[in-house]
Amino acid sequence: MDIKTLAQSMCLIILIIATLVNTSLLRIKWHDRANAAKDDTPAVVKGMRVPFRVPGAGVAVSSFFAYLIFVDLIGF
C-alpha cells in the first residue's frame, strides 16, 4: 500500500466518523425538539446551542467528501 492510498483511507475513516458524530447530533436535536413540542415547555439545555442546520450541514459536507474519496479509492 503506497502512502497516497494510506492517506486517503485514513481521511475516509475520519470523514465517516465525522458523519456519524453529526448524525448523532441531529438525532439528539430532533429528539429534544420532539420532546419540547409534546411538553409545551422549552427544553433546558446547558452548554453551547447551535441551530439544527449546523449538524445537518456537517452530515452533508462530510458524507459528500467521504463519497468523493471512496470513489477515488475504488477507481471509478
Number of folded domains in the chain? Answer: 1
| pTM attached to this predicted model | 0.78
| Residue recorded with cell 419540547 | 36
pLDDT in tens, 65-74: 999 999 999 9
Name the residue range of residue 27's domain.
3-74
pLDDT of residue 37: 65
pLDDT in tens, 31-49: 877 776 666 656 566 777 7
